[in-house]
Amino acid sequence: MTMTDPARSAGKTKTRTGYSVCTICDIGCQLRTTTEDGVVKKVEQHDNPLLAKNICYKGTAAPQIHNHPERLRVPLKRMGERGADQWEEISYQQAIEEIAERLQTVVDTHGPEAFGVSTSGWNTQTTHGLDRRFMNLLGSPNWTSGVSLCAGNTAAVSRLTYGWYTLPDFDNTKCFVLLGHNPRKHSWTPIYNRLDSARARGATSIVVDPRLSEQAEKATIHLQIKAGTDAALLLGWVKVIIDEKLYDEKFVEEWCVGFEDLKRRADDYPLDRVAEICGVDADLIARAARMYAEADGAAIPWTPITDMQLDSTSSIRLQCILRAITGNVDAVGGERFFGLNPGYRTESELQLHDEISPEQRAKQLGYSTHPAYTYRTAEILRPHMKKVWGHEWIDMVMGCHMANPSELFRAMADGDPYPVKAFFTLGNNSLMSYPNQHQILRAMLNQDLIVAHEIFMTPTAMLADYVMPGDVFSERNHIADSWAWTSNLTLNEAVATAPEEASSSFRFWTDLAHAMGFGDRFPWNSLEEVIDYRLEPSGTTFEEFRAEKYMDVQPPKYRKYRKTGFATPSGKVELSSSILGDLGFDPLPYHRPAPATSDEFPYRVFSGVREDPFFQTGQRNIGVLRRRVPAPHFFVHPDDAAAEGLVDEEWALLETAHGEVRMKVSIQDSIRQGHIRVPHGWWYPETRGEVDLAGAFVSSDAVLTVDTDDVLDYEQGIPHFKGYPGRISPCDAPEGMSSITLGTE
C-alpha cells in the first residue's frame, strides 16, 4: 500500500529532522537526522552543545549506509547449495510462514533447545527483549551474543563480585586507568571526549598497553606490558596497595568479605615476579599502583581487552576488587552503580525468564561447564538481585543469562552434547565474530534452518536459508536504555521510510510468534505500543516523551549500598567469591599464562586495535569509509620486520597452530617488539561472486584462534584473543585480491 503524501503531490519536498541514537557503532551517540521525502540526507551533531562533540565520521556517513544501493530490501530465500549466494526474492509474509513451519519441525524433532540465536542487539535496537521472550516461550535457553566477548561478560562477572556493573563517574574522576582500552576521536567518541575533559581538569592517567597507543601517548604513566598479562599486573597492584596500606580500611572492614584470603593470594605476586611476567619495570608498576590508590576518586573504565583473555574472569574481578578496596565503588569520581530507571520497564522484564522451565534453563550450553554468565549464576543471584534492585532477572548489557558461543557452535557442528539444528543471526556477522571460524562454518553447514536478519549481504547471511532485510535507526522509533548499563533513556525517532519489505526485530519476532501460535503473548501491534508499555511506570507515552524531551537522566545517587547492601550472597563485595567457590572454581583471582611462544611460533599475536572507519566486521562496502583504510594491516616492530624480511605495505602470511591469514604489513615503532597486531573483521564485499564467501577466510582474525578448553577461560569459557603464539613471513597477494577495490559506493 502506498500512502500519498499531500506535500509531495503538491510538488513540495517534505523535510523532517529528528533525534537519533546512532547504531553504526555500539556507543550510541545522540545525533540529529534530516530526511527529504523519507530519504536520509544528513546526519549531524546534536543541538545540545554538551552533546555536540559526540559524533564521528562513521555517524556522518549514515546517509551513504542507509541509502546504499546494496542495502537488502526484499526477503531472500536460498536457491542451490548453502553458501552459493543464489537467491529467490520472496514476500515478507511468505518468509515468515516458511520460517515458522521449518522452525516448528526442528523443535518437534530435536526439542526447543535445538534452536540457537546470536544477536548483538545494539544495531537492531528494537528487540525490547522480545527475542528472549520468543525463545523462553518456545523453551530454548540458547541465546548468545557478541557481548559474550565484550562488556556483557564483564557485567556478569562484576555482578557476581558486587551485585551490579559500574560505569566511571567521568565528570569527577581524578585518575583513570585504561587496560588497553584506546578510545579515539573516531572510535567511541563520547568516551574519548570524556577522558579528554577529565585530563583537561587535571586528572592523571595510567595506560597499560603493549603498544604506544593514542591514549598511551597522553598518559601520565604507560606500562608497556606483554599482551595477556593484565591479571598478573593487577595482582601486583593489589599487593602494593595492601602492603603499603593504601586501601580504604573502613570500607574493607564494613563492606568486603575475603580480604585476608585476597592478601594471601596477592603475596604470591611479589613485584619482581610480576615485573618478570609482564615485562615492565617493578618500580613503575608500584608507582602506578600508588597513583591509582592515592587519587581522591579514581576510575578503571570498562575495557574489552580483559574480556578476551585466558584469565578474563580473574582480570575482570581484579578490576572490581581494586575499585572496592580503594573505596571507589559507587563513589564520587570513582565508579557509579546507576541502577535502573524507575520509569522504564527493563528488557529483562519483557524477556519472561520464569516462563522457561528450570530443566530447560539447565540445558543452556555452557551452564555446567563455563557458568559465569549463564543462567546458572543468574539463578544463584536471583534473591539478592530482588532484594537490592527489585527484580530477580536483570540482564545487564544483555550478558547475564547467555549461552556460551563456543559450546553453541560445537553443538551445531557436532551435536555435542545435543544437536542444535536451527540458527538465527540478527545484526551479527556470526561466522567472523567468535573464535574458531572453521568450526562456525561447519556448524552453519550442518543446520536445517538458518535465518539472517541483516542490512547487507555478509558472509554469514550468504550461508542462510532466509535473509530478512532489517530496518535502520533512521527508520524506527525507539527509547534506548543502554541495556541497563546506565539509567539514562535516550530518544530515537523514525524520520526515514524503511524499505517496504524490511522489518524491525520487533516486527520479526512478533510476526513469527503469531505464525507459530503464541501471538497472544505478543500483544503489541506496533513498536510504539511496546515503548508505551515500557514507559507505563513513568505515566507517559512515547508520544509524550518525545514531545517533551530527548533524554531522561536520573540524578546521581552515590553509596546506595549503605541502605541496601550489595546484591551478592553475603550482601558485601566478595573479594573471595562464594559463587565461584560453590561452582567449583578458585574463589580468588589468579593469573593464567597464555600458551608459550616457541621457535616455531615466536611472536605474541593479538586481535584488535579497531580501525576508525569501520565498526567490527561492517562498512567495508561503504566507499567513503573504506577509502580511509582500503586494506587490513599487521602491525610489526621494525626489528621484527627486518628479522622476517617484511616490507612495509607488502603482503605477509601470519600462521598460528590453528589457521593462517594474509594481510599487508605496517611497520610501527609503537608496538612492543615480539608482538603482532591482527585487526578484527576483514572481508572483501567487492569480491562477492568471485571469491568464496567474499573473502571471509582470507584476513579474518577468527580463523587464527580455537576454542578448545586449554585456551578458554575456565569460568566463562572466553577465548584468548590477546597474546597467542604465531609466526609471520612475506607472501604474495592472495588470489583475486591483488588489486583491492574500495567498496562500491
Ligand X SMILES: Nc1nc2c(c(=O)[nH]1)N[C@H]1C(S)=C(S)[C@@H](COP(=O)(O)OP(=O)(O)OC[C@H]3O[C@@H](n4cnc5c(=O)[nH]c(N)nc54)[C@H](O)[C@@H]3O)O[C@H]1N2
> Which residues are known catalytic residues?
26
The entry of Mo ion, ligand X, ligand SF4, none near residue 455 (CB within 5 to 8 angstroms by kind) is: ligand X
Entry field: residues in the chain:
745
- Pick between residue 292 and residue 721 the one whose CB is nearest to Mo ion: 721
Cβ(130)–Cβ(347) below 8 Å: no
Name residue, grid cell 530478512.
Answer: 468
Cβ(322)–Cβ(238) below 8 Å: yes
Among 25, 135, 147, 378, binds ligand SF4 (CB under 6 A): 25
- Rounded to 10°, the helix 312-325/230-243 angle is 30
189 binds ligand SF4 (CB under 6 A): yes
- C-alpha 25: how far from chain center: 10
User: ω before 417 within 30° of 0 (cis)?
Assistant: yes
- Pick between residue 29 and residue 728 the one whose CB is nearest to ligand SF4: 29
Per DSSP, helices labelled H in 335-399 are 347-351, 358-361, 375-389
59 binds ligand SF4 (CB under 6 A): yes
H/E stretch holding 250 reads: helix 249-255
Report, in Å, the least distance between residue 554 CB and ligand SF4: 22
The entry of ligand SF4, ligand X, Mo ion, none near residue 28 (CB within 5 to 8 angstroms by kind) is: ligand SF4
Candidates 51-59, 151-159, 279-287, 383-391; binding stretch for ligand SF4 (CB under 6 A): 51-59
Q: Where are the beta strands (DSSP E) in 306-421?
A: 335-336
Window 489-508: residues binding ligand SF4 (CB under 6 A): none
Distance of alpha carbon 366 from alpha carbon 682, whole angstroms: 28
- Pick between residue 23 and residue 404 the one whose CB is nearest to ligand SF4: 23
- Pick between residue 21 and residue 381 the one whose CB is nearest to ligand X: 21
Among 55, 291, 320, 461, binds ligand SF4 (CB under 6 A): 55
Distance of alpha carbon 662 from alpha carbon 652, whole angstroms: 6
Distance of alpha carbon 455 from alpha carbon 72, whole angstroms: 5
Distance of alpha carbon 550 from alpha carbon 572, whole angstroms: 37
Residue in the shown chain whose Cβ atom is closest to Mo ion: 150
| Paired sense of beta strands 466-469 and 449-454, if any | parallel
Distance of alpha carbon 633 from alpha carbon 616, whole angstroms: 15
Among 27, 295, 365, 740, binds ligand SF4 (CB under 6 A): 27
CA–CA distances in Å: residue 79 to residues 461, 600, 653: 13, 44, 35
Candidates 53-61, 131-139, 544-552, 628-636; binding stretch for ligand SF4 (CB under 6 A): 53-61
| Paired sense of beta strands 422-426 and 675-678, if any | unpaired
The site map against Mo ion for 136-155 (x = CB under 5 A) is: --------------x-----
Distance of alpha carbon 568 from alpha carbon 551, whole angstroms: 31
Question: Measured on CA atoms in the order 353, 354, 355, 360, is the torsion positive or negative?
Answer: positive
Name residue, grid cell 561447519.
Answer: 442
29 binds ligand SF4 (CB under 6 A): yes
The entry of ligand X, Mo ion, ligand SF4, none near residue 189 (CB within 5 to 8 angstroms by kind) is: ligand SF4
Reading the block at residue 699, the C-alpha cell is 584476513
Report, in Å, the least distance between residue 31 CB and ligand SF4: 6
Distance of alpha carbon 278 from alpha carbon 285, whole angstroms: 10
Name residue, grid cell 575533559.
Answer: 197
Candidates 27-35, 94-102, 503-511, 559-567; binding stretch for ligand SF4 (CB under 6 A): 27-35
Question: Measured on CA atoms in the order 291, 292, 294, 297, is the torsion positive or negative?
Answer: positive
Is 106 in a helix, a strand, or coil?
A: helix
- Pick between residue 158 and residue 360 the one whose CB is nearest to Mo ion: 158
Q: Give the max Cα distance, the chain.
A: 79
- Pick between residue 303 and residue 360 the one whose CB is nearest to Mo ion: 303
609 binds Mo ion (CB under 5 A): no
- Pick between residue 189 and residue 716 the one whose CB is nearest to ligand SF4: 189
Distance of alpha carbon 186 from alpha carbon 730, whole angstroms: 31
58 binds ligand SF4 (CB under 6 A): yes
- Pick between residue 56 and residue 107 the one whose CB is nearest to ligand X: 56
The entry of Mo ion, ligand X, ligand SF4, none near residue 456 (CB within 5 to 8 angstroms by kind) is: ligand X
The entry of ligand X, Mo ion, ligand SF4, none near residue 230 (CB within 5 to 8 angstroms by kind) is: ligand X
Report, in Å, the least distance between residue 97 CB and ligand X: 20
**Which residues touch 623 (CB under 8 Å, ≥6 apart)?**
64, 742, 743, 744, 745
Distance of alpha carbon 477 from alpha carbon 475, whole angstroms: 7
Cβ(228)–Cβ(234) below 8 Å: no
The site map against ligand SF4 for 398-437 (x = CB under 6 A) is: ----------------------------------------
Distance of alpha carbon 587 from alpha carbon 576, whole angstroms: 5
- Pick between residue 147 and residue 175 the one whose CB is nearest to Mo ion: 147
Report, in Å, the least distance between residue 21 CB and ligand SF4: 8
- Pick between residue 35 and residue 436 the one whose CB is nearest to ligand SF4: 35
24 binds ligand SF4 (CB under 6 A): yes
- Pick between residue 218 and residue 264 the one whose CB is nearest to ligand X: 218
Q: Residues touching ligand SF4: how many (CB under 6 A)?
A: 12
Q: Which parts of this chain interact with ligand X (CB under 6 A)?
A: 23, 25-26, 120, 123-124, 146, 149-150, 179-182, 186-188, 208-211, 213, 225, 227-228, 230, 303-305, 426-429, 433-435, 453-456, 458, 470, 472, 606-610, 612, 614-618, 680-681, 701-702, 721-723
28 binds ligand SF4 (CB under 6 A): yes
Report, in Å, the least distance between residue 189 CB and ligand SF4: 4
The entry of Mo ion, ligand X, ligand SF4, none near residue 621 (CB within 5 to 8 angstroms by kind) is: none
Candidates 220-228, 249-257, 296-304, 662-670; binding stretch for Mo ion (CB under 5 A): 296-304
Report, in Å, the least distance between residue 319 CB and Mo ion: 16
22 binds ligand SF4 (CB under 6 A): yes
181 binds ligand SF4 (CB under 6 A): no
Q: What is the distance between the terminal CA atoms of the chain, rounded to a whole angstrom?
A: 30
- Pick between residue 181 and residue 239 the one whose CB is nearest to Mo ion: 181
H/E stretch holding 515 reads: helix 505-515
**Which residues touch 715 (CB under 8 Å, ≥6 apart)?**
157, 313, 370, 371, 372, 580, 583, 585
Reading the block at residue 230, the C-alpha cell is 593484565
**Which residues touch 578 (CB under 8 Å, ≥6 apart)?**
257, 568, 569, 570, 587
**Left, alpha or beta for 56 (phi > 0: left; psi -120 to 50: alpha)?**
beta
Reading the block at residue 165, the C-alpha cell is 556493573
Report, in Å, the least distance between residue 332 CB and ligand X: 25
Candidates 58-66, 247-255, 298-306, 670-678; binding stretch for Mo ion (CB under 5 A): 298-306
Candidates 115-123, 163-171, 299-307, 688-696; binding stretch for Mo ion (CB under 5 A): 299-307
Report, in Å, the least distance between residue 466 CB and ligand X: 13
* Interacting residue ranges for Mo ion, rule: CB under 5 A: 150, 304
* Interacting residue ranges for ligand SF4, rule: CB under 6 A: 22, 24-25, 27-29, 55-56, 58-59, 188-189
